[in-house]
Amino acid sequence: MRRPLIAGNWKMNGTKAEAADLLNGIKAGVAGMQKVDVAVCPPFPYLYIAAELLADTAIGWGSQDVSQEAGGAFTGQVSAAMLKDFGCRYAIIGHSERRQLNGETDALIARKYAQAVRSGIVPILCVGETLEERESGKTEEVVARHIDAVLDAEGVEAYGQGIVAYEPVWAIGTGVTATPEQAQDVHAFLRQRVAAKSKDIADGLRILYGGSMKPGNAAELIAQADIDGGLIGGASLKAADFVAICQAGEDNA
Ligand code: 13P
């Protein structure tokens, strides 16, 4: 049985004070939960606040990106080893905003994934199609390409050490959520793609859903057989909403 994970992607939001308030609210709200894993991914400058405030909790924290390089003359980049060094557990890799706005390619994303795994950071690989791709029947082709980038470069074993998040681009920040059936279909397809190389690894792989997940729709999404939690954007910025989604994970575990 896969343990559900609810992870918050704060994106480029908040101040130092807001980060501390949010972390304290989440900490208090999820304190009694036993069956769900909870994580937050604040912006880089606020990671130290998560490290401090969450040190005595089971809540994990992660970055929103990581360098594809191990170290050296790469101005502005942050290595997986540095993140690991101060207690970071996860790194979001290949978010569609980075694919679209920062020109990240599948090849680059596979290198980032590999660096994370090598340093003991758990990568959360984001995959997902645009509205245009969905409407032209290309959803499976696109997510297969995203998932295969890591499979081909690093082998199926890489998925034994990471997490996948299916985030349809048309559902991100739009208020439009994939229906549980739409999401389940893609999650099952992704798991099958990995199972073709290793059933054991596919069975253990957590595949999160992301895209306008909220307290009102989290339970029915997480109840799907192949949906193992959520990667939450907007609703992760309000402690009460994020905690309610974590509770849905706890109740569905
Ligand atoms: P929203 O929950 O705001 O749609 O964002 C989802 C997301 O991009 C998480 O990585």
**Model pLDDT for residues 134-165, shown as the tens digit of each residue:** 999 999 999 999 999 999 999 999 999 999 99
The residue-averaged pLDDT of 127-131 equals 98
Task: Using the predicted structure, report yes or no on whether residue 1 has a pLDDT greater than 90.
Answer: no
95 among known catalytic residues: yes
pTM summary value: 0.98
The domain ranges of the chain are 5-251
How many whole angstroms from 19 Cα to the centroid of ligand 1?
18
Question: Atom 1 in ligand 1: which residue has the minimum CA distance?
Answer: 233
How many whole angstroms from 168 Cα to the centroid of ligand 1?
10
Atom number of ligand 1 nearest to Cα 231: 9
Per-residue model confidence (pLDDT) at position 217: 97
Catalytic residue among 146, 167, 187, 250: 167
- Measured from CB, residues less than 6 Å from any atom of ligand 1 are 9, 95, 167, 172-173, 210-213, 231-235
- Domain 5-251, CATH: 3.20.20.70
167 among known catalytic residues: yes
Residues 95 and 108: their CA atoms lie apart, in Å, by 12
Task: Using the predicted structure, report yes or no on whether residue 96 has a pLDDT greater than 90.
Answer: yes
For 20, how many CA atoms within 13 A lie in the half-sphere containing its CB? 5
